[in-house]
Amino acid sequence: MDTVFRDARVIDGSGGPSYRADVALAGGRIAAIAREGEPRLTARRTVEAQGLALSPGFIDMHAHSDLALLRDPAHTAKAAQGVTLEVIGQDGLSYAPVDDRTLAAVRAQIAGWNGGSPEDASVEFTWRTVGEYLDRLDHGFAGEGIAVNAAYLVPQGTLRALAVGWEDRPATPAETERMKRLVAEGLAEGAVGLSSGLTYTPGMYATDAELTELCRVVAAYGGYYCPHHRSYGKGALAAYEEMIALTRRAGCALHLAHATMNFGVNEGRAPELLAVLDAALAAGADISLDTYPYTPGCTTLAAMLPSWAGEGGPEAVLARLRDDATAERIRYAMETEGADGCHGVPIDWEAIEVSGVTDPALASSHVGRTIAGAARERGEEPWTTARRLLIADRLGTAILQHVGHEENVRTIMRHRVHTGGSDGILHGAKPHPRAYGTFPHYLGRYVRELGVLSLEECVAHLTSRPAARLRLPDRGLVRVGNRADLVLFDPETVAAGATFEAPRTLPTGIPYVLIAGRFVMEDGRRTDVLAGRAVRRTARP
């Protein structure tokens, strides 16, 4: 045996009662488990685990580390939380498959999520296909790998940019067939499913018929569809129902991304969402969801614009913002009508806090301020401030949107198909603390302090449930033969250090994290181990 954890409190990920045991590792897998009273296990290295809980590694079902994994070898934001696998390629926008033209536009559009603007040379974009991107993750830094494992979703918005462009129109039959081929190629090369961002251009221009055709391909490969659906505000319930009906027609598994009920129109309405889910599950639907344990959301300021303003891509958006008459139409749509980019709800500039900018010169005057607050300092209207910032930062501004409700967060996280996802944007001077704190926040705040979930149940939400959705039979449970992706944490002290004031603070109470039996975190410190690899779906039609 390589390593044995002696006298650990094993929380095996099943949701069942914990138990005392020695757990031994060999060759990157769990080699033996000796429960209390059975003969002790021995190994070359012994870690005394009294008082510590041993669980499977946490799986972040909604991550935005697409470039961070290639930019930062330590990636401590996730490794220190006990995350051993992230699912990237989210919200329908990522960097594969692309051609040169599409890559440049996508880089500009989601610079507020990931950095990586066309002017950013910190990552060399040597890939174009999904398979090439996954190979790049495998090689990571100096051929050694990356900090944690990563699975990839084919991004539907990127596909549409590649096959259709940035036009607001239905795809032609030939364009739909090209997108279907691209989905099939991505899944054959190892992607685990398809994502959409249906409040983001150009993915939001897709019809249900078009999405259904793509989901049929996903179903044939045994993958799942992960939509950021068309509304989390005024039309939230209808948007959830739309995705359920669409995937039922396609025969495709559905995973609802950051499944929240936000804005004032949805306060206290989480039970209505769960009733819709329960009815669909009872009728045989295959559904799961993820949430983060916080109330504010996080996206880009440009995402708040109406969809018609996004037609044509980033340069067309900037041209519209520079034109006074068109900018006034945009303002009216956002402030009075409720733009689809803001989920059909008139925007509240007091709720929009700038969390990051692409241009460092804009940071001191905007980051950490709400748009309304920055406008007051300048003696101008909020839209004037927002418009100027969008243009100056070339749409790269990231925001926090303070529109959530605590009772909805707690109600949804109790559901039997719930999993954990950080939706963590790591870019920016003042990111959302969920990027550094989601998983310890679940364990410390919602388990130990509030008792919303039991410890065993919460660990199941963060481990075996996501592993089952990803169809990874050797992960997510502490079982002999499974991969030794493991976390040792202290249930009495585990907590998120990250706050809205200090969002990059690391958690406490997680001294050991292992991937493939190798210590990624040891005694609470990041090692130099790069044991992460791309996790590929291997199913074929």
Point out which residues pair with 228 in neighbouring strands. 197
Overall average pLDDT of the 498-511 stretch: 97
Angle 219-220-225 from CA coordinates, rounded to 5°? 25
Least confident window among 68-72, 113-117, 138-142, 217-221: 113-117
What span, in angstroms and rounded, lies between the C-alpha atoms of 164 and 411?
40
Rounded distance between C-alpha atoms, residue 439 and residue 494, angstroms: 10
- Inter-CA distances, 524 with 2, 152, 339, 438, 514, Å: 20, 28, 45, 17, 12
DSSP for 155-178, please give it. EHHHHHHHHT-S-SSPPPHHHHHH
In the chain, % of residues over pLDDT 90: 96
* Phi, psi angle pair for 428, to nearest 5°: 110, 155
Tens digit of each residue's pLDDT (9 = 90 or more) over 342-357: 999 999 999 999 999 9
> Helix H segments across 6-155?
68-71, 76-79, 100-109, 111-114, 130-139
Residue 538 has a pLDDT of 75
Q: How many CB atoms neighbour CB 272 within 10 A?
A: 14
Nearest CA-CA partner of 516 in 532, 492, 539: 532
CA torsion 199-205-211-217 (nearest 10°) is: -100
**Dihedral, CA atoms, 182, 199, 314, 337, nearest 10 degrees?**
150
Residue 17, both tokens: 């009662």
Please give the average per-residue pLDDT across 305-313, as a whole number.
Answer: 93
User: Residue 418 belongs to what H/E stretch?
Assistant: strand 418-420
Tens-place pLDDT, residues 347-389: 999 999 999 999 999 999 999 999 999 999 999 999 999 999 9
Return d(Cα 190, Cα 506) in angstroms, integer: 32
Q: How long, in residues, is the chain?
A: 541
Q: Which token pair is 496?
A: 């998120």
Look at residue 117 in the predicted model and tell me its pLDDT: 87
pLDDT class of 279 with cuts at 50, 70, 90: very high
| Range 215-239 average pLDDT | 96
Is residue 119 scored above 90 in pLDDT? Answer: no
Q: Confidence class of residue 537 from pLDDT cuts 50, 70 and 90?
A: confident
Span 55-83, average pLDDT: 98
What integer pLDDT is reported at residue 540 of this predicted model?
A: 59
Mean pLDDT, residues 113-132 taken together:
92
Beta bridge partners of 534: 150
- Tokens representing 465 are 């449930």
**For residue 173, is the peptide bond before it cis, meaning its omega torsion is within 30 degrees of 0?**
no
pLDDT in tens, 140-165: 999 999 999 999 999 999 999 999 99
Instruction: List the Cα angle 60/113/223 in 5-degree steps.
Output: 45
Predicted pLDDT of residue 118 = 87
At 539, the pLDDT band (50, 70, 90 cuts) reads low
